[in-house]
Structure formats: C-alpha cells, structure tokens
Amino acid sequence: MPLDDALADSLDCVVEKVGNPAPRIYERLFQTHPHLKDLFVLDRDGAVRAEMIRLSFDALLDLEHEGHYARGLISTELTTHGNHGITPAQFAELFDIIRDVVREIVAERWQERHEQAWNRVLARVGDLVAAHRA
C-alpha cells in the first residue's frame, strides 16, 4: 500500500472497529477544553459533531494529495469558528486530537507509515492555520 494511503487506511480501520469516532473525539476535546461543550448545547443527538468530524476527515484525506478542497474549507472554518470564540490554536488542536483518538482505536494495527502520514498531513493543517493568521 503506498504511503499516501496510510491515512485512509487508519480511518478505514477506525470505522471498522467503532463506526463513528465523533463521540470519542469530542469527549477528548471536552476533557481538554470543558468550556467548548457549551457551544454544542443544541446538538442533542450529536449530528453536528458527527458532521464536523466527517468534514475534518474529508479535509485530512484531501491534504494527502493536492489539498484544494481542504485549503478553502479550513480557511472558511477558521473564520466561522473564530466567530464562536475558537482560537486558531484550538481549531488546529482538534486535528491533533483526531489523530490521537484514531491512533488509540487502531491500536496494534498502527504502524510507522500511519504515524508518518498523519504527521505530514497535520503539518499541512498547521501551515494552513498559520497562513490564515497572516
């Protein structure tokens, strides 16, 4: 399997093992930033959170390649989230949390190629966040 498929492989493994990882991802986010939970008071069934994770996965997968979709999405979402008081650092941190939760779920199937792919894509997220601030 080419290195570029490692991120997709890790996400496929997550879906295979737990289905929707959004509850675990947001549990970790809220442990780190409890005040953010208040922003989801109307998301009683978790649909908004699930959609946000789906969009995040789409952006991450796109960043493995050309990243055209991800650049626009991340720029737009940084502005939108900023309007809700989310700092660029907090926005970027969600992607780190996603990686950490994916790594935990994948567990023994996590390989160096997964780590490399995630590190490469998260560096691109960091670059997009930094460019948005400039």
Kindly state which CATH superfamily the domain 3-133 is placed in.
Globins (1.10.490.10)
Strand spans (E) along 3-134: none
What does the alpha-carbon distance between residue 28 and residue 105 come to, in Å, rounded to a whole number?
13
Q: In this structure, what DSSP letter does residue 33 have?
A: -
Supply the pLDDT for residue 134. 66
Rounded to two decimals, the pTM is 0.91
Angstrom distances, CA of residue 50 to CA of 11, 55, 94: 14, 9, 13
Q: What is the pLDDT of residues 90-124, one digit of tens each?
A: 999 999 999 999 999 999 999 999 999 999 999 99
What does the alpha-carbon distance between residue 63 and residue 75 come to, in Å, rounded to a whole number?
13
Closest alpha carbon to 7 in 47, 67, 89:
67
Q: What is the pLDDT of residues 42-95, one digit of tens each?
A: 999 999 999 999 999 999 999 988 888 999 999 999 999 988 899 999 999 999
Q: Where are the domains of the chain?
A: 3-133
Position 4 pLDDT exceeds 70: no
What does the alpha-carbon distance between residue 61 and residue 66 come to, in Å, rounded to a whole number?
10
